[in-house]
Amino acid sequence: MKINYKFTWDSEPTDKQLHSLMKGIAIDAKKKTEKAYKLFWKQLDKEVEQARKKWSVLIPQHK
């Protein structure tokens, strides 16, 4: 999300500006967190599957 803002040393941002900025940051953080979460579990599933294949060859299944 692109938010246009310009803060200067001689003026305080308004509550509305700060609210808008923080809301945008929160939205971006949530999106990045969700993306990282999905990527983590996808990679973990892949590694678990690789380990299962490796160990299924080394340890025969009892039937």
Full domain range(s) for residue 24: 14-56
Give how many domains the chain has, as a whole number: 1
pTM score = 0.64
Q: How far is CA 48 from CA 4, 52, 55, 58, in A?
A: 44, 6, 10, 15
In a domain, 45, yes or no: yes
The tens digit of pLDDT for each residue in 19-55 reads 999 999 999 999 999 999 999 999 999 999 999 998 8
In a domain, 30, yes or no: yes
In a domain, 61, yes or no: no
In a domain, 47, yes or no: yes
